[in-house]
Amino acid sequence: MKIALGTDERTPLTDFVVEELRARGFDVELCGAQAPKACEWPDVAQEVAERVAQGLCDEGILFCWTGTGVSIAANKVPGIRAALCSDAQTAAGARRWNHANVLVMGLRLTSNQVAKEILDAWFNTPPEDKELEHVAKVAKIEQKYAVPRSQVKTSAPLRKTGKRLHNKKTSFSESRIQGKG
């Protein structure tokens, strides 16, 4: 099995997971900072998700500080079912009930031991066929909201002005975005 693994920050945890995957006999394709290639979290999420969606890799594993950002970004790629897993039970459920194809872990709180438990659950839990109906419903939602690239309208981009980030609708203090306010 070929696994695309990406992160925006190379850490002892990401190194541990790479070695753990290789020890289990997986072919690991490194993306982002693990490659090593400087990369921001949306970019590495897109790279890994596209590798999986295009069938170049069987599954993906992503990391960022909380895991939330890469989960959101990866799930924008059609056909990707990325699941942020903080424990083995969540990983097993994501595989069993959601047929998740991209595992996401946060760098902030995941220890090597917990990562190993998550990997065990992820790779030892088969998807349940009775859940295929639900996976198909999610695919229909994805198709319903798919918009041809030529018709994609982006919201007003955030722009930095002094100590605040603005768009036409909202204004956010940088300290609030960074969790300090």
Segment 82-101, tens digit of pLDDT: 999 999 999 999 999 999 99
Q: What are phi and psi of 31, to 5 degrees?
A: -130, 155
How far is 59 from 63, CA to CA, in rounded Å? 14
Task: Provide the pLDDT for residue 111.
Answer: 98
pLDDT(73) > 80: yes
Task: Provide the pLDDT for residue 156.
Answer: 52
CATH of domain 2-144: 3.40.1400.10
Which band of pLDDT confidence, cut at 50, 70 and 90, is reported for residue 169? Answer: very low
Mean pLDDT along residues 134-139: 91
- What tokens appear for 21 in the block? 């995957």
DSSP E strand stretches across 65-148: 82-84, 102-106
Average pLDDT, the chain: 87
Q: In the β-sheet with 164-166, what is the strand arrangement from edge to edge?
A: 159-161, 164-166, 171-173
Residues 6 or more apart from 125 whose CB is under 8 A from it? 91, 92, 95, 96
Q: What is the tens place of the pLDDT at every residue in 110-128?
A: 999 999 999 999 999 998 9
Break the chain into its structural domains and give their ranges: 2-144, 155-181
Mean pLDDT along residues 41-54: 97
Which band of pLDDT confidence, cut at 50, 70 and 90, is reported for residue 165? Answer: very low
CA terminus-to-terminus distance, the chain: 45
Catalytic residues: 64
Mean pLDDT along residues 7-33: 97
* pTM of this structure: 0.81
DSSP H or E stretch at residue 32: strand 27-32
Mean pLDDT along residues 61-69: 97
Task: Provide the pLDDT for residue 153.
Answer: 63
Q: What are phi and psi of 114, to 5 degrees?
A: -65, -40
